[in-house]
């Protein structure tokens, strides 16, 4: 079994370390010699894709957070309105969909029943259905019009890690491809983003090389009863994912918030010693978001919170208000989740480990939930 885990203590740890490869493999072979994206495997014609005027993502758990991240990117690059629906809520909100609607399901396993039922409902409404999936030949891609496989390799640990990063990657490929089909990316240059995406496996590898401090922090926090996570823009779903990982693995009460929402309620939870992780947007994120999040850190620190700040290399503005700074390499704003998610995965894993829990098989959870 030790060999199967590649020398790591847990499958999850092995899978966290495989993330540069999972992202690289998901990108592999998807461009032609001119650098343009080619996604022939989609099985949906260019003409059909060009007629799409609404996109709805359906997914559960970690896959739904990948969808929330995708919304920011796809709307920016394609200007097509994007919605995200938890798959088990989709049918019950009387969804609006027709043959110009692209319903994109995200599922690592391809067997999640809630997601499958949403796809079938979308199909009945006449929508185009596309599956982003990691498991060849599984049910959801079979039941969908088209498929875009992630190439993360088998994921054994119940809590998704490399599955998640490869889903974000596949969503970005889809967004850039739709932008390419529609002419040009509206906001960012498609080629520039694609080139940077192709460099992210190296950025993720850099993150993996500097996780010792986050492991130490996790071990010191083995008795912690509640942890909050704040993020903004694409960092908001990353905060939600950080909280989910901690619940799943370490059975600790954890909540993720949009940093801007803090003053509308959650700040009442801040008391001396409350640990709060803050995912800070890069200093060059548009609309001054970086400064706004730095103010949030200042506000909660002033109320005694213990602030654990995820910030880009060179971002010194956070330092006066941070009890701990976890550094991630610089990326453009949209690509930040691919690096910031990693320390949060490792934090949850290490904390569960420190509590003597089974990291790969947390209580009450299943790798894929095949009942509604
Ligand atoms: C289960 C797992 C989660 C996963 C979710 C969706 O609840 O415990 O880790 O995110 O299913 O799984 P899927 O295979 O559809 O991505």
What ipTM goes with this model? 0.96
Pocket test for ligand 1, best of 11, 22, 59, 62 (most atoms within 8 A of CB): 62
Res 189: pLDDT: 80
Do the beta carbons of residue 176 and residue 193 sit within 8 Å?
yes
Among the atoms of ligand 1, which is closest to the Cα of residue 109?
A: 14
State the pTM of this model.
0.97
Per-residue pLDDT tens digits for 198-239:
999 999 999 999 999 999 999 999 999 999 999 999 999 999
**Which residue in 298, 276, 261 sits closest to 227, CA to CA?**
276
Give the pLDDT confidence score for residue 184 in this predicted structure. Answer: 62
Backbone angles phi, psi at 41, to 5 degrees: -60, -10
Active site residues: 367
- How far is CA 295 from each of CA 20, 231, 285, 318, rounded to the nearest angstrom? 33, 13, 15, 9
Average pLDDT over residues 96-105: 97
Q: Whose CA is nearest to atom 3 of ligand 1?
A: 61
Q: How far is CA 8 from CA 13, 14, 17, 214, 339, in A?
A: 6, 6, 9, 18, 21
Q: Is 5 exposed, middle or buried (0-12, 13-18, 19+ CB in 10 A)?
A: middle
Q: Among 41-50, 230-239, 333-342, name the one with the lowest average pLDDT.
A: 41-50
Predicted pLDDT of residue 187 = 65
**pLDDT (average), residues 350-355:** 96
CA distance 339 to 326: 11
- Rounded to the nearest whole angstrom, what is the distance from the C-alpha of residue 36 to the centroid of ligand 1? 32
Indicate the range of 36-40, 89-93, 239-243, 257-261 predicted with least confidence: 36-40
For the cut 90, the answer to whether the pLDDT of residue 80 exceeds it is yes
pLDDT over 70 for what percent of the chain?
98
Å from CA of 311 to ligand 1 middle = 28
Higher local confidence (pLDDT), 280 or 362? 280
Mean pLDDT score, 326-331: 97
Rounded distance from Cα 51 to ligand 1 centre (Å): 31
In angstroms, how far is CA 152 from the centroid of its own chain? 14
Which pLDDT value is given to residue 186? 66
With 90 as the cut, is the pLDDT of residue 278 above it?
yes
Identify the pLDDT of residue 3. Answer: 73
What's the 69 CA to ligand 1 centre distance in angstroms?
Answer: 16
**Does the Cβ of 48 fall within 6 Å of ligand 1?**
no
């Amino acid at each position: 079994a030790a060999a199967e885990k590649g020398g790591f203590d847990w499958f999850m740890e092995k899978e966290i370390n495989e993330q540069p490869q999972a992202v690289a493999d998901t990108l592999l072979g998807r461009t032609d010699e001119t650098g343009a994206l080619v996604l022939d495997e989609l099985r949906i014609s260019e003409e059909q894709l060009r007629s799409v005027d609404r996109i709805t993502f359906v997914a559960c758990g970690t896959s739904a957070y990948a969808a929330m991240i995708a919304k920011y990117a796809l709307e920016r690059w394609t200007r097509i309105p994007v919605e995200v629906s938890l798959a088990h809520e989709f049918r019950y909100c009387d969804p609006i969909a027709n043959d110009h609607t692209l319903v994109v399901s995200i599922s690592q396993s391809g067997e999640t029943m809630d997601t499958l039922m949403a796809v079938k409902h979308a199909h009945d409404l006449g929508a185009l259905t596309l599956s982003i999936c990691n498991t060849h030949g599984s049910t959801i891609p079979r039941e969908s019009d088209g498929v875009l496989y992630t190439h993360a390799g088998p994921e054994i640990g119940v809590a998704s890690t490399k599955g998640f990063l490869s889903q974000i990657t596949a969503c970005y490929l889809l967004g850039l491809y739709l932008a390419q089909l529609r002419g040009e990316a509206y906001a960012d240059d498609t080629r520039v983003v694609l080139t940077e995406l192709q460099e992210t496996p190296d950025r993720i590898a850099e993150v993996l090389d500097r996780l010792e401090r986050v492991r130490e922090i996790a071990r010191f926090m083995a008795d912690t009863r509640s942890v909050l996570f704040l993020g903004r823009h694409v960092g908001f779903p990353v905060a939600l994912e950080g909280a989910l990982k901690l619940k799943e693995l370490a059975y600790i009460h954890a909540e993720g918030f949009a940093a801007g929402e803090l003053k509308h309620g959650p700040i009442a939870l801040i008391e001396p010693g409350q640990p709060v992780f803050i995912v800070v947007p890069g200093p060059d994120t548009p609309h001054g978001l970086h400064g706004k999040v730095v103010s949030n850190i200042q506000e909660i620190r002033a109320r005694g919170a213990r602030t654990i700040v995820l910030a880009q290399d060179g971002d010194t503005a956070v330092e006066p208000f941070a009890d701990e700074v976890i550094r991630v390499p610089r990326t453009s704003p949209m690509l930040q989740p691919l690096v910031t998610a990693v320390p949060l995965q490792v934090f949850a894993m290490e904390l569960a480990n420190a509590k003597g829990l089974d990291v790969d098989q947390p209580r009450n959870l299943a790798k894929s939930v095949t009942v509604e």
